[in-house]
Structure 1
């Protein structure tokens, strides 16, 4: 018998239509009610624990720390063989990546959700949950550690991204694709993630903001972040790491104030790289002490920076190489 722990946090997968407004209310349906609608293999035992009951957009860094502690508690429980975490889709990619950065485990931790509520026609809630449980119980999933499951596909948290706001095929893995599939009771893993470092956050995550650049962006939001004494900044630039002289001046001031700055690109694929020599781009950011964020998107870079600073780590370009 395989024991899977189901941890619930709310989100669309636990939503219910409000009869007065006709709109969905998230986090209303309990994990036990969801489980009652599934057809689970007789060799899998499920126990359910509610961690939160809220929209994923309402989660905080403090919530992430609490969630990490709960997941760790069950990983250390010898009676638990795997974990499934239900989560709202809006920040699912951030939470799953956070867990992958702070939890080193040989048990499967599968994060899933749904694009349509359980009561809606064509809902993906029950299929995703049932398949996620099947994945968590599979021996081949243990080597992955933390993964994201959606629409029959298994993704690594480093590259998973919500690519559609409404379609049930809502998540993709970018240029790296997906790790494997679940088809009924058949679990196939085609590739495994590269081994990476994990970190021990001392008390809390560092305060890190994202600032997005576009045509004619200036430095006012960087100056605002400096005024609010943030610990770190992720600057989402254009192309290979390009902005303009005003942004570069703001980045320089932030670094002079002791703020760790990471430069990312808004492009879906490709790395930030010194390929041009002009004053408003990565060549100047590098000279001023900013860190090249490589192929990280801004949200994942923010989580990684918040974790590393919260763990008291020195942050370098090499930390963003993979």
Structure 2
């Protein structure tokens, strides 16, 4: 049989509902109970690594998880790796692993929207689907994958789109790269290329700010007062900002602080088109780095990773165009 490593990091898939209808990590064996079903598919080694609600996840823990995966796959032969994770930050951990793991064997991230003892709990079927995906030969070389609700998504594009629906994970503009039926794993397209960056840590101080109408530059004063390594801004529309905050950005750039801009829209990407104060064309001339379709939370992680390779604005712009 094929061999799969399942690493549990917590989240709703490992939680239960108590009598007061609160969802808590009450049952340490919630995921382990699914093992008999998994053993019908593969030889599974299950590691209960951490038990964190996903809002407790940090880039430092993501990096430790990366190191664990690299150590385990270097010392044991596996056909695939599955990570169970809370859904709130699942897309961030999946993308971080996608950027920093150099493995060709499948790495699949999954979780649940309903706790283990709720009616219609989706954790067991998601985990079974994730293991099936991990052992499928067609999953190799496609980067880190997210499996949820019988769909396979690329880590770069997937995002949580609903607070409670089991079909919460979607890939705006791109859609899933595959689906899972009762008997088969089907791929209908795949990412054209992959990025990989070698890193030593994940502790950069990079705030994420969202643009809104009538922004007051005083809201961003902390960016000048604190020691930050970079900043990501979710801009308006095609990549435009209220003119009042542009002087703050100019000061940051003068200090050598990289500013990466994404759109707060969940479809499309920023472009240097509008040539007015605060418009994308002038922001590009100022030195703002334009990202190629990433959302804010993923652009933050990518900047955290790429800054360990270079802090040259031009090189960073080339990396964010990738």
TM-score by length of 1: 0.94
Decide whether the 8 Å contact of 2:310 with 2:316 is kept in 1.
Answer: no
RMSD of equivalent CA atoms: 1.7
Q: How does 1:289-300 map to 2 (within 5 A)?
A: 289-300=287-298
Answer with 304-313 or 53-62: which moved more.
304-313
Task: Give 1:78 deviation, angstroms.
Answer: 4.0
Q: How does 1:255-274 map to 2 (within 5 A)?
A: 255-274=253-272
Decide whether the 8 Å contact of 1:27 with 1:55 is kept in 2.
Answer: no
1:53 to 47, 51, 54: 51
Return closer, same or farther for 1:278/1:26 CA change in 2, 3 Å cut-off: farther
Whole-angstrom CA distance in 1 between matches of 2:25 and 2:246: 41
Decide whether the 8 Å contact of 1:10 with 1:28 is kept in 2.
Answer: no
Q: Which residue of 2 aligns with 1:24?
A: 23
Decide whether the 8 Å contact of 2:13 with 2:31 is kept in 1.
Answer: no
Greater strand fraction, Structure 1 or Structure 2: 1
Task: Give 1:294 deviation, angstroms.
Answer: 2.8
1:183 aligns with 2:181: yes
Whole-angstrom CA distance in 2 between matches of 1:321 and 1:31: 42
Answer with 197-206 or 102-111: which moved more.
197-206
Gaps of 5+ in 1: none
Q: How does 1:4-43 map to 2 (within 5 A)?
A: 4-19=4-19, 21-26=20-25, 28-30=27-29, 33-36=32-35, 39-40=37-38, 42=40
Whole-angstrom CA distance in 2 between matches of 1:211 and 1:271: 17
- How many equivalent residue pairs? 320
> Helix, strand or coil: the match of 1:204?
coil
1:72 aligns with 2:70: yes
2:153 to 152, 155, 177: 155
Task: Give 1:313 deviation, angstroms.
Answer: 5.7
Give a deviation string over 1:175-227, Cα, whole Å, max 9, x none. Answer: 11111111123111111212222111123342111000011012234320221
Give a deviation string over 1:136-158, Cα, whole Å, max 9, x none. Answer: 01111112131100000000011
Answer with 133-142 or 240-249: which moved more.
240-249
Answer with 312-321 or 137-146: which moved more.
312-321
Decide whether the 8 Å contact of 1:108 with 1:141 is kept in 2.
Answer: yes
Whole-angstrom CA distance in 2 between matches of 1:89 and 1:32: 15
Whole-angstrom CA distance in 2 between matches of 1:32 and 1:174: 30
Whole-angstrom CA distance in 1 between matches of 2:39 and 2:14: 22
Return closer, same or farther for 1:308/1:205 CA change in 2, 3 Å cut-off: farther
1:317 aligns with 2:312: no
> Helix, strand or coil: the match of 1:211?
strand
Whole-angstrom CA distance in 1 between matches of 2:154 and 2:203: 22
Whole-angstrom CA distance in 2 between matches of 1:68 and 1:151: 25
Task: Give 1:96 deviation, angstroms.
Answer: 0.3
> Helix, strand or coil: the match of 1:94?
helix
Decide whether the 8 Å contact of 2:143 with 2:154 is kept in 1.
Answer: no
Q: Which residue of 2 aligns with 1:226?
A: 224
Task: Give 1:258 deviation, angstroms.
Answer: 1.8
Decide whether the 8 Å contact of 1:242 with 1:282 is kept in 2.
Answer: yes
Task: Give 1:33 deviation, angstroms.
Answer: 2.6
> Helix, strand or coil: the match of 1:275?
coil
